[in-house]
Every structure is written in C-alpha cells, then in structure tokens.
A = this chain, B = another copy of it.
Amino acid sequence: MSDEQRRQDRVPLAGPDIQEILSDPDYPKKLRELFDDLHPYDVFSLIEDLPPEDIAKIISALGKKGIEVFEYFPDEEKKDIFYCFSRKKMVELLEEMAPDDRVDFVKKLPEDLVEDILPLLAQAERNDIKRLLQYEEGTAGAIMTTEYATIPPDITVDKALEYLRRVAPDRETIYYVYVTDRDRKLLGLVTLRDLIVARRTAKIEDIMHRDLIVVRVDDPVEEVAKKVRDYDFLAIPVVDHENRLVGIVTVDDVIDVIEEEDTEDMFAYGASGVVHNYTEESVWNIARKRITWLLVLVFVQFISGAVLQMHSAELQAMIALAFFLPVLSGMGGNAGSQSSTTIIRGLATGEIEEADMWRIFYKELRVGLLVGSILGIIGFARAMFIQQDVRLGLTVFLSMVATVTAATTAGAMLPIFFKKIGLDPALMSGPFIASVVDIVSILIYFEIARIIIMGF
C-alpha cells in the first residue's frame, strides 16, 4: 500500500479524542502539533460536530490556521462559535478573515453586537467592512474580495516580482496582478506566469494585457459566474462606474455561486423550499417550507375539481370519461415538465434568451403537436379497446393533442414570462405548471366531450 493510499484510508481522529486533548492544560500546543500537517478543510471536517465552545477553543489555539478553519463553517454555526469567543478574540478574528467572507458574516450578526465590536477594529478593516456592506446581496460587489495585488504600469518586471514577494501572504491571489493608475483606474493585467516568462528589465506596461473583461459592482453574480466560466479565468476584476478597481472575484467563489444557484433552481423547480442542511433541519422546519407552496397549489387544484363538477352531467352520462382523466392530466404535467426544465436550464446557463420567446413558442407548438398526436393515437386505441366507442376515442385523441400542446407551450412560456417581469424563472415550479395545465386539460376534455359525445 502506498503512502498516499494510507493517507486516504486513515481513520480520522474521533471527537472524544479531541475532547480529551482539550482537557489537558497544554492543549493549544498539542492541537497545533496534531493539526500541523492538515489542510484547514480537513481540520474543519474533524471538528465540525463538536460543541461550539470546544470549536472556539480549537480555533483560538490554532492561530491563523484557526481562522481559515472557521471560514469553512456555515454561517449559522459560525455565529454559535463566535459567541463563545472573548471580545478581543472576536476583533482579532474579524480583522484576519478574508474580506468577502467577513462581510457576509457581519451581515448575519445582530446589529448591537456589530455596533459594539466595529469601533474596536483597525481603521482599514472597519472601512473595508463598511464599503462592502453597501453592496446588495446577489451582486458582484457582495461576493468580491478586496485582497488583490495591484502595481503601477511604469515599474519593471523585477520590481513587480519583488513587490509580490512582500505582499503575497495578504493577498487572496497573486497569480493575477492588476495594473492601476494613481486614481485606481484599471489599466491592465499581468499574470504571474507573464512575469516569470518576461525579461526582468521589461516594463509592466509593455507586457500587460489591456483589453480586459471586467464586471461591475452591481452586476448580478450569474453574470460574474458566466464570464469566469466562459473565459476560464482564475479571477475577474470588479470595477465601479468610474472604472476604478474595487475588488476581484476568485474562481473558488464562482464555483460556490454556481453550486448555490443550481441548488436554488432545483429546489425552486421542485417547489420544495431551499433546504441547505436536510440532515440537521427539523421535521417541523422542512414541513413549514413545503406547506407554503402546497397551500397555494391545493387551491389551484380545487379549480380542477370545480371544473369537473360543472361537467357532472357529461360524467354521469358516460362514466368512462373519468377513466381518461388521470392519463390526460398526467401527460399534460409531464409534457409541461419537459419543456419547462429545458427552458429554465437554458435561461440559467445563458443558452436561451428572452428575446427568443416567439421562436421558442413556435418550436414548442410544433413539438407539442407532434408528440401530442402520437400519444393521442395511443389514447384513441385504448378508448376503442375499453368502450368500443369512436366518439370517446375521438374525444380522447383531440384532448390529448390539445392538452400536450398547451402544456409544452405554457411550460416554456411561463418561465420566460417570469424572467421578463424580473423574477427568477426557476420560481415557475414544475408542480405549479402541472396544476395550471391540469385545469386547462379538464376544461378542454369536457368541452370536446360535450361537442362530440353529447352534441351529436
């Protein structure tokens, strides 16, 4: 067995072992030795299930590495741990945290505590928090960090490398170095790779990339994610409206944004409410998140019932009509689910745009007619088999074509409509679309039945 294998398979320290160490008066030193070789994420994995007081002790003992470990905890747990620190440690921790994580965390603290601690922080960090606090949730400004490296355009490569050597420990990345003028206006970018490859005496302005892709502080995070993904960047500069560099968003934060967005889309589509920690969430909380949507939907679906009630005469006259209710409303829901997932995902990845609305409508219309006809023929055959009644068969066929076509077009248009009026298209959930299509399908079915079966 190789070393690497051994490393992967080794049984991690159990919680009780760590708690035993904590009861030793010399625990800070022991912990430092114990966790010395480990990545902060591994330390986090080892201690995450301990009580907050113990976690706070460990984080305090680990110094700078402790702060990195702290940043891995979800915000709710961060709060619990934070309350276990002394004021002094709170201030130290806030000063050392990465600016983007710090401001996210400060937003979640109670206001009086923030007012209490903020004055104790160093001027630079205090200003930084205040500046970042003003950006709205979901914008580039809210996820950017202010720990980037900048250099002026007129120094040499050698000088730039010397400077980077000095500031490296405080910067989130030194692989992209931004070139700015005296007013912080963004002029260009050099990568560390460029600097390594270039002649030592070359001027930065002669080797820098000038035509930069940037985002604005108020651009939505989806836009940031799309650019970083499309251009394969390690970081993207964030500028204000005067083109001054105010921050950068690094690729690891972009991955988190993408995951977060996709999770929210999926939960929205399933109408299940956002559940980030299913295992820990209480039954009561999960139920509360779900019932909201269900209460809306139950009343929508009562409309289907009411439509049925309006048509009880037809139903009485031919009870076999009822046998096709499940398949019609089911296929409507399915076809709507198919077109809506395709469109919602297309809108999320940027492949589809609202401007294409009418082209999409026309396409879904044709897909619906095609697919609906095939299913309609199957429905016709089934009706003939059950009832040997060509009028019932015809009713089922026509209703299937109409229902499926209504479903594919509505399933595609409703998310686009939501996007147009400025809402998240994924809010147009599968269950909601299915419920709307359900009403339509029952209406269509009984209208057609009235004409064909009763009318003739």
Contacts and interface: CB of A to CB of B under 8 A. Distances in A.
A327 interface: yes
B315 A269 contact: no
A243 interface: yes
B323 A305 contact: yes
A150 interface: no
A52 interface: no
Interface in A304-326: 304-306, 308-309, 312, 315-316, 319-320, 322-326
A263 to B, nearest CB: 6
A356 B279 CA distance: 9
Nearest to A308: B323
Contacts of A338: 270-273, 290, 293-294, 431
A333 B101 CA distance: 39
A398 B334 CA distance: 27
A326 B442 contact: yes
A164 interface: yes
Contacts of A386: 309
A83 interface: no
Which of the listed residues A192, A266, A269 has the most CB atoms from chain B within 10 Å of its own CB?
A: A266
Interface string A419-433: 000000000011100
Contacts of A34: none
Interface in A273-303: 273, 275-279, 283-284, 286-287, 290-291, 293-295, 297-298, 301-302
A258 B305 CA distance: 42
A278 B276 CA distance: 31
A356 B281 CA distance: 14
Nearest to A387: B309
Interface in A198-223: 210-214
A254 interface: yes
A239 B3 CA distance: 12
A124 interface: no
A424 to B, nearest CB: 14
Contact of A266 (B39, B251, B266): B266
A161 interface: yes
A242 interface: yes
Contact of A342 (B38, B231, B267, B283): B267
B252 A255 contact: no
B197 A192 contact: no
Given A267-B341, A341-B270, A331 B278 contact: no
Contacts of A161: 196
Interface stretch (A17-25, A108-116, A128-136, A364-372): A364-372
B301 A330 contact: yes
Given A4-B214, A263-B345, A341-B270, A327 B352 contact: no
Given A283-B370, A293-B334, 8 more contacts: A161-B196, A175-B192, A229-B252, A263-B349, A267-B345, A271-B334, A308-B322, A338-B431
Interface of A: 2-5, 7-8, 37-39, 41, 161, 164-165, 168-169, 174-175, 185-186, 192-193, 196-197, 210-214, 228-232, 234, 239, 242-243, 251-252, 254-256, 258-259, 262-263, 265-267, 269-273, 275-279, 283-284, 286-287, 290-291, 293-295, 297-298, 301-302, 304-306, 308-309, 312, 315-316, 319-320, 322-327, 329-331, 333-335, 337-346, 349, 351-352, 356, 359-360, 363, 366-367, 370-371, 374-375, 378-379, 382, 386, 429-431, 434-435, 438, 442
24 contacts: A165-B197, A169-B197, A228-B255, A258-B262, A266-B266, A267-B341, A270-B340, A272-B337, A276-B351, A278-B343, A286-B342, A287-B367, A290-B335, A294-B375, A295-B378, A298-B327, A305-B324, A305-B326, A305-B382, A308-B323, A316-B319, A326-B329, A326-B442, A330-B438
